[in-house]
């Protein structure tokens, strides 16, 4: 895959201290991008990702922000622009399932947390990035992290998470229409069962094994299996006529 156009680009990845975000940050660095590594509380993990990026010969900067705070997504983007001088790609990856609950047992604060982190932060960061990209003269890419749950309603007790990812998929399409004339492309990746600490925290080993057996490719995936989709959507050379799309990366578990 010829991704030479990513070399030197400034890419901000939210939720990049671990899991899919960390793998995506390293993937961009492999193709010569300058990478902003966002973290909330895991500073040491973010620093380790930044060291890996530097070892690959690319520039990395780490940025702390609590994206559940209404003002923090815009500040994060502004800080990245101030430090790098511009922003070419925003990857809205930060998010959380928070917890599995039956609807009648769901605490009110779970809904509020999912809304703030999985929905509001994506909107706020995207708005700030679009403003910055337009000031730069237009062009750029936003790649959002949706989920298989956006289409199938999620596993047991995760309907609020699934709903938030359904929003991300629909928002992706709407924003793509809104900013197309500015040369900004907006797409999303919808991972399936990816073996990360998020899954370890919320899903039992027995259930993960059952899902692997039900997947046509016969396995769940490491975070690295998602990276190519994000790189493809960020590269104008590879996907310059692709916008408003959601790429499913799920081993065939769902074939829409």
Q: How confident is the model at residue 134 (pLDDT cuts 50, 70, 90)?
A: very high
* Active-site residue identified among 17, 161, 164, 235: 161
Tell whether the model's pLDDT for residue 20 goes beyond 60: yes
pLDDT at 152: 95
Q: Is the pLDDT of residue 93 over 70?
A: yes
pLDDT at position 1, please?
Answer: 57
Active site annotation includes 201:
no
Per-residue model confidence (pLDDT) at position 80: 98
Read off the pLDDT of each residue in 107-120 and give the average, rounded to a whole number: 96
Residue 198 pLDDT greater than 80, yes or no: no
Tell the residue number behind the tokens 């065939």, with chain if given. Answer: 252
pLDDT tens digits along 235-256? 999 999 999 999 999 999 999 8
Q: What is the mean pLDDT of residues 14-35?
A: 98
Told to judge if 41 belongs to the known catalytic residues of this protein, a careful annotator would answer no
> Residue 77 has what pLDDT?
98
Kindly report, residue by residue over 149-185, the tens digit of the pLDDT.
999 999 999 999 999 999 999 999 999 999 999 999 9
Q: Which of 17, 165, 230, 235 is catalytic?
A: 165
How does pLDDT run across 27-79, given as a tens digit for each residue?
999 999 999 999 999 999 999 999 999 999 999 999 999 999 999 999 999 99
Task: Supply 75's token pair.
Answer: 């500040």
Rounded mean pLDDT, 99-127? 95
The predicted model gives 117-126 an average pLDDT of 98
CATH topology assigned to domain 4-249: Rossmann fold (3.40.50)
Residue with tokens 């991972």: 191
Average pLDDT value for the chain: 95
Of 147, 164, 235, 239, the active-site residue reads 147
Residue 2 is predicted with a pLDDT of 64
* DSSP secondary structure letters along the chain: ---GGGTT-EEEETT-SSHHHHHHHHHHHHTT-EEEEEESS-HHHHHHHHHHHHHTT--EEEEE--TTSTTHHHHHHHHHHHHHS--SEEEE----------GGG--HHHHHHHIIIIIIHHHHHHHHHHHHHHHTTS-EEEEEE--THHHH--STT-HHHHHHHHHHHHHHHHHHHHHGGGTEEEEEEEE-SB-SHHHHHHS-HHHHHHHHHHSTTSS-B-GGGGHHHHHHHH-HHHHTT--S-EEEESTTS---
Examine the residue annotation and report whether 161 is marked as an active-site residue of this protein.
Answer: yes
Across 220-227, average pLDDT: 96
pLDDT at 200 over 80: no
């Amino acid at each position: 895959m010829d991704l030479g156009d990513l070399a030197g680009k400034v890419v901000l990845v939210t939720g990049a201290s671990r899991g899919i975000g960390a793998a995506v940050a390293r993937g961009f660095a492999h193709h010569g991008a300058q990478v902003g590594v966002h973290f909330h509380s895991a500073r040491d993990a973010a620093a380790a990702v930044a060291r890996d990026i530097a070892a690959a010969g690319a520039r990395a900067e780490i940025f702390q922000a609590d994206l559940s705070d209404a003002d923090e997504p815009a500040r994060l983007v502004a800080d990245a622009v101030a430090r790098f001088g511009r922003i070419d790609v925003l990857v809205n990856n930060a998010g959380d399932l928070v917890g599995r609950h039956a609807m009648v047992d769901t605490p009110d604060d779970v809904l509020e947390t999912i809304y703030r982190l999985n929905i509001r932060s994506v909107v706020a960061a995207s708005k700030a990035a679009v403003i910055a990209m337009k000031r730069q003269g237009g062009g750029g890419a936003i790649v959002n992290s949706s989920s298989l749950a956006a289409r199938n309603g999620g596993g047991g007790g995760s309907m609020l998470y699934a709903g938030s990812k359904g929003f991300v998929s629909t928002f992706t399409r709407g924003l793509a229409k809104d900013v197309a004339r500015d040369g900004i492309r907006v797409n999303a990746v919808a991972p399936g069962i990816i073996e990360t600490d998020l899954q370890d925290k919320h899903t039992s080993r027995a259930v993960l094994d059952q899902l692997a057996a039900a997947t046509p490719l016969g396995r769940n995936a490491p975070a690295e299996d998602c990276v190519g989709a994000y790189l493809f959507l960020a590269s104008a050379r590879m996907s310059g006529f692709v916008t408003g799309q959601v790429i499913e990366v799920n081993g065939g578990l769902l074939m829409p």
